[in-house]
Amino acid sequence: MLAYIGRRALLGIFTVWAISVLAFAIIQLPPGDYVTSYIAQMASMGSVVTDEEAQNLRIQYGLGQPIYVQYFKWMRLIVQGNFGMSMEWRRPVTEVIGERLWLTVIVSVAALILTWVLALPIGIYSAVRQYSVGDYVATFIGFIGLAVPNFLLALVLLYLGFVLFNAHIGGLFSPEFQDAEWSGARAWDLAKHLPIPAVILGLAGTAQQIRIMRANLLDELRKPYVVTARSKGLSEARVILRYPVRVALNPFASTIGYTLPYIVSGSIIVSLVLGLPTVGPLLLKALIAQDMFLAGTIVLLLGVMTVIGTLISDIVLVLIDPRIRLEET
């Protein structure tokens, strides 16, 4: 079993590496570099940046060298635990991201939990009562979340929040807690701001989860062991919950890994609209400003989060599904 997890971990590391390359590539894709966009910014504010100045900047930022050189420099930094300087924020990348990363995780996880709370029962119900009215209604609700463009939904909720409840506009904290020290009060303030983003994000993922649960369960429901269980004289509820559902949960658990990036991606858009201090808006800005270390690090971190998510789900899977334990050990 340990060997198995070890193997998965190795794979994860490989994946992370691959992502780091991809991340770096992604950032290099757009034309120009940070200096170009910096000059553009200056220019649009009526300030002059001459070619010589630009050249200087490029040298100072170590741009201009071939991409792979830059990549290896970056890698070396990272290995030393230094993710480099954000060109736009003129601070170490780690500081810039800082709290935002955790807020991202919090928002995502909140959404994830919500997703399950909705998806599991609905999925089970609509599998057991396939084609019943309930099945339709349940899946319908699930799909609405998927179908509504979440950026629009977010904006509308934002506005309604202001009109109806005079709520603080956007963000995850009230101004007074914006950069206060962590405290019970601050956590509570965060909790109060969490529902809207969580709902918007959660809903988007629910349909997918419902479908997975439903399909798995439909699959299991046809297995002979269900008949066996029934023929023992168990009550229907117990038959369903103790056997097929239990088995159907396994593939479900394995989706954690894939749900996480889905939600994190979604969180970027929603964060933008709701102005959440997550890495989402930061990433978008960084990509536009071509602030490569910042953008690169964020993409990398998101990737790592995903890999970790996958790893966790693998481990969970091993724990709850003895079969794998057998095969793998």
Partner 1 sequence: MTDLGRTPRTRQRRSRIVMALVVGLLTTVLAAGALAQMAKSGLIGKLEGPEVVTDPAKFPKTLNEAPQLAALVKAGKLPPVAERVGQDPLVIKPLREIGRYGGTWRAGFTGPADFWNGFRCCSGPDHLMFWDYTGDKVMPNLARGLEMQDGGRAWLLHLRRGMKWSDGKPFTADDFVFWFEDIYRNKDLIPTPSAAMAINGKQGTIEKVDTHTVRFKFPEPYYMLPDVLAGSTDLAGQMFGYRGMGGFAPAHYLKQFHPKYAGAAELDRKVKEAKFDSWVRMFLAKNDWALNPDLPVLSAWKTVTPINTPTWTLERNPYSVFVDTAGNQLPYIDRVVLALAENLEVLNLRAVAGEYDYASRHVDLGKLPVFIENQQKGGYKVYLDPGDYGGDMIIKFNLNYDADPEIGKWFNTADFRRALALGIDRDQINETFWLGTGTPSSVVPADGNKYNPGPQYRKMWATLDVKKANEMLDKLGLAKKDGDGYRLRADGKGRLRIEIMTLGGQFVQYTQIAEMIREQWKKIGIDLTVQEVERSLALKRTAANEQQLGAWNNDGSEHLFTFPLHVFPFELAAVATSGPLYVKWFHSAGAQGKEPEPRMKELMEKWKKAFGVPEKERIQLGKDIWKIAAEEVYIIGVIGMGPASMGVRVVKNNMGNIPSRQYNSPDGKTPGISRPATFFYKN
Partner 2 sequence: MVAEPLLSVRNLKTYFTQDEGTVRAVDGVSFDMALGATLGIVGESGCGKSITARSIMRIVDRPGRIVEGEIHFQRPSGSGGAGSMVDLAKLEPNGALMRSIRGAEIALIFQEPMSSFSPVHTVGSQIIEAIRLHQPLGRQAARERAIEMLRRVGVSSPEERVDQLSNQLSGGLRQRAMIAMALSCEPTLLIADEPTTALDVTTQTQILDLMRRLQQEDGMAIMLITHDLGVVAEMATDVAVMYLGRVVEQAPVDAIFHDPRHPYTRALLRSIPRIRSRTRERLTPIAGAVPHPYDRPTGCPFHPRCPEFMAGRCDREAPILRPVGDHHAVSCFLYE
Partner 3 sequence: MAEPEAILERGGSPLGGPTAVADTREQRIFVASQWQLMWWRFRKHKVAVASAVVVASFYLIVLGADFLAYADPNASEAHRSLMPPQRVYWFDGGRLSPHVYGLKGARDPQTFKRVYVADPDRKIPIRFFAEGFEYRLFGLIPTTRHLIGVDGGADATQAVFLLGTDVQGRDLWSRLMYGTRISLTIGLFGVTVSLILGVVLGGFSGFYGGMADTIIQRTIEILRSIPTIPLWMGLAAALPRDWSVLQVYFAITIIISLLGWTELARVVRGRFLSMREEDFVVSARLVGCSQMRTIFVHMVPSFMSHIIAATTLALPAMIISETALSFLGLGLRPPAISWGVLLQQAQNVQTVAISPWLMLPAVPVIIAVMAFNFLGDGLRDAADPYGR
> Within a 13 Å sphere around the CA of 292, how many CA atoms are in the beta-carbon half?
28
Q: What does 215 bind: partner 2, partner 3, partner 1, none (CB cut-off 5 to 8 Å by kind)? A: partner 3
| Position 178 contacts partner 1 (CB under 8 A) | yes
Q: How many residues does the chain have?
A: 329
- Residue 219 contacts which entry, partner 2, partner 1, partner 3, none (Cβ below 5-8 A, type-dependent): partner 3
Residue 48: C-alpha distances to residues 45, 53, 114, 169, 290 (Å): 9, 10, 51, 37, 20
Distance, in Å, from the CA atom of 167 to the CA atom of 174, rounded to the nearest integer, reads 10
151: phi then psi, degrees, rounded to nearest 5: -70, -35
Contacts of partner 2 in 283-322 (CB under 8 A) = 320-322
The region of 58-66, 112-120, 153-161, 225-233 touching partner 2 under the rule CB under 8 A is 225-233
Q: Applying CB under 8 A, does 4 fall inside the site for partner 3?
A: no
Residue 144 touches which of partner 1, partner 2, partner 3, none (CB < 5 to 8 A by kind)? partner 3
Residue 80 CA to residue 69 CA, distance in Å, equals 17
Tokens 């095969």 belong to 327
Pair of tokens at residue 216: 């798995």
Residue that has been written with the tokens 């890495």 in this structure:
279
Asked whether position 322 contacts partner 3 by CB under 8 A, the answer is no
Query: What mask, x for binding partner 3 by CB under 8 A, covers residues 45 to 84?
Result: ----------------------------------------
Task: Choose between 229 and 268: whose C-beta lies nearer to partner 2.
Answer: 229
As a whole number of angstroms, the distance between CA 282 and CA 8 comes to 31
Query: Which residues form the interface with partner 1 (CB under 8 A)?
Result: 30-32, 36-37, 39-53, 55-56, 60-62, 82, 85-86, 88-92, 96, 155, 158-159, 162, 166, 168-171, 175, 178-179, 271-277, 281, 285, 288-290
